[in-house]
Structure 1
């Protein structure tokens, strides 16, 4: 049942992404590069979280779809840039050659830049076309904060500065709360805003998202050590080879596994307040913690 609902949501989001990227303009190669990474086989967790959060609080997912798609464009831009030789220097992403391996470094940078800007263009158009302009602007502010220097970019800088260094547990948590957790949290909060949730509900879902965001990153760190390359679609043990500070390197493998379980349990306890309406999100939370890719 969960798998069917998840696949239906992913198909719904993919249709939205496809419509937005059905662009007949020049230079064609730019849009080809943008589409290449957007449709390279992502799990769509962030947009699924966005529309599911909207539905949880009684909203219409059609109102949240442009917001969810914009988040996926912004997330994809970050992956293109993360893979570049100047950053993580990865050859594979989701089992396919990374964007710069197909299109070259310069075009990969520009494709990432284009997706970032297009994400905000989508949000602005949605606000201008909707009677729900105020909530869209609030959601946009949440996403911009999470994607910028106070969130994802700030966390990425700390990640780069931490290579081949011993960092504290506090510094590690700061890095991952910003680099990975911020956009996951923004996805949940933006969805709740689009669904018309009150401040108390938004705060609950914000706390939920902080737990799952951190659990998601710790699981990534674990998979880099224990994962199967054929399932992950990327090279394993790359964090170790690049001198990255991870939860596994700081806490050890067993403690990292325990932390994922603890954070997941804390997230699910928050969802208990929403009753039966939260069953899908509970299952999604467990799916994120148990995933093998």
Structure 2
């Protein structure tokens, strides 16, 4: 990674964190009655805990590539992070992946309780669409409608939530390679694809550019999950900030388990090359997103 990329990643993460802090403040918004203190604390615990903010970064940088409004992109980025964090809060529950640690701190159901964790996740998911629809997000009605539809599809039964259902089923009957690819494209890839496509929607880009950014998102989504599976095999819990080796312990199939570490490393190189090829028509303007593909493939946590 270049220092310019690292600075951009940190700066965008800080901007996203600052906006999320404001969005999760105590003061009720118009038409809200009250924000219960315990529930709001749990939401903050699940969201304001650091992290690279990769998905928001992709929204912001995809919009910037195509000339989209920066402030609107930041708000859509925050909305997407609410959806992502809701999914983590719920995935960590005992009925799902049953994790006690997330980003180096107790998961929400451990820091509070299971009922509060469920409600925190519910509230974060709902709030995401509030953020997009709110007047403060300076986009026209058509753009907002497209964003709501695309995010709903990415997060719902045919996307992330459906992918989690397939992931739970995989603990009972291991899927074949095609099944694993489908599961991962839904559970992990769908929100990453949305992050990149959202930039094109915000910028009111051409259909061709929207498809190109969506394909780039799909490609780095595959790379993200493949790198994650490698880390689950090779990294320790302290580095990752969460438990590792759980997939193997549960007998859950991954592409790394099926094909081996060397294959996975070669496949990651191929995916980075595909991402670069998709962005080639944008020339030097795509340098940050090209570096992002390499960062996703090479990450160590």
Secondary structure of the structure 1 residue equivalent to 2:95: coil
- After superposition, the C-alpha distances for 1:90-115 in whole angstroms (9 at most, x for unaligned) are 11111111111100111111111110
Unaligned runs of 5+ in 2: 28-33
Is the aligned partner of 1:113 residue 2:116? no
**How many angstroms does 1:130 deviate by?**
3.9
C-alpha distance in 1, partners of 2:232/2:16? 28
Using the size of structure 1 for normalisation, the TM-score is 0.96
- Against the structure 1 CA distance between its residues 26 and 58, is the aligned structure 2 distance closer, same or farther, given a 3 Å change threshold? closer
Partner of 1:74 in structure 2? 83
- After superposition, the C-alpha distances for 1:227-272 in whole angstroms (9 at most, x for unaligned) are 1322210111011112222112222222122211111110111112
Partner of 1:201 in structure 2? 209
**How many angstroms does 1:88 deviate by?**
0.7
Q: 1:162 is matched with which residue: 170, 173, 176?
A: 170
Q: When the two structures are aligned, how many residues end up with a matched partner?
A: 292
1:1-293 aligned within 5 A: 1-24=4-27, 25-126=34-135, 130=138, 132-293=140-301
**How many angstroms does 1:72 deviate by?**
0.2
Which 10-residue stretch deviates more, 258-267 or 212-221?
Answer: 258-267
Unaligned runs of 5+ in 1: none
Which 10-residue stretch deviates more, 35-44 or 209-218?
Answer: 35-44
C-alpha distance in 2, partners of 1:131/1:201? 19
Contact 1:46 1:72 in 2 (8 A): yes
Using the size of structure 2 for normalisation, the TM-score is 0.94
Contact 1:10 1:44 in 2 (8 A): yes
The two structures, once aligned, show a CA RMSD in angstroms of: 1.3
C-alpha distance in 1, partners of 2:69/2:264? 37
Secondary structure of the structure 1 residue equivalent to 2:134: helix
**How many angstroms does 1:165 deviate by?**
2.8
Contact 1:80 1:99 in 2 (8 A): yes
C-alpha distance in 2, partners of 1:165/1:39? 36
Contact 1:126 1:136 in 2 (8 A): no
C-alpha distance in 2, partners of 1:98/1:255? 33
- Against the structure 1 CA distance between its residues 170 and 41, is the aligned structure 2 distance closer, same or farther, given a 3 Å change threshold? same
C-alpha distance in 2, partners of 1:131/1:202? 17
C-alpha distance in 1, partners of 2:288/2:90? 32
